[in-house]
Amino acid sequence: MPNRILIVEDEAPIARMIAMNLRAAGMEPVVFTDPIRARETLAADHDYDLALLDVMMPGLSGFELMEALKPYGVPVIFLTARDDLEAKLTGLTGGAEDYIVKPFQVPELLVRMEKVLARGRGREDVIRFRDLEVNLAQRRVLKAGEEVALKPMEFDLLAALLKNRNRAVSREDLIALVWGANYLGETRTVDVHIGQLRKKLGLAESIRTVPKVGYRLED
């Protein structure tokens, strides 16, 4: 079953953008632009794997809404324009899993979400794509039931593409996700590793090159 994600964001265009990207990633977003209405529905419907909450909303803050979610054990990530230390400490010490400052990149959001979801599932995280089975916990890849040996960076790059499938991801974002923000090498290293993934896993038709941007893994 897809992960069910509660989104509470009073700015409708942002809420729609997040929901669209979560659907593309295979998740099931449930959107509210009114935090009070979101709280009112919890008694009857609180089966969420994760909640993405704006902090500053009219009528009810994200901090207050998180308190309403606590009895149901729903983990929370705050999405907010507030980047002051006091707000971050309030959210994190109050029990939030993460705190992401707007504007943010969708690949970063998905990676942070995946970390929270993996902890919540309490089991090995397996992603399936065509004839591939990718076990993130064991760092193993099976193709049609046969294990394929990948180098560490190849595995991390594959995982990043899978978590962002059907979405164009820039070389710069892939470097930040796989090699880290402090990587000082050339972006061409992404191209080399993509070539290896295409060859080893038979993904020449699935990993599409997006001119002047990067790559997209297509279903």
Q: What is the pTM of this model?
A: 0.57
Work out the burial of residue 168: count CB atoms within 10 Å of its CB; fewer than 13 is exposed, 13-18 middle, 19 or more buried.
middle
CATH 3.40.50.2300 range(s) for the chain read 4-121
Tell me, what's the pLDDT at 123?
A: 46
Q: With the CA atoms of 97, 80, 52 and 162 taken in that order, what torsion angle do they form, in degrees rounded to the nearest 10?
A: -80
What digits encode the pLDDT tens for the residues 153-201? 999 999 989 888 888 888 888 888 888 767 777 878 899 999 999 999 9
Of the candidate CATH numbers 3.30.2290.10, 3.20.190.10, 1.10.10.10, 2.30.40.10, the domain formed by 126-217 belongs to 1.10.10.10
**Domain 4-121 falls under CATH 3.40.50.2300:** yes
In the sheet with 207-210, reading across from the earlier edge strand, the strands are: 169-170, 214-217, 207-210
Dihedrals φ, ψ of 101, to 5°?
A: -90, 135
- Spans of the chain, pLDDT less than 70: 1, 82-94, 120-125, 181
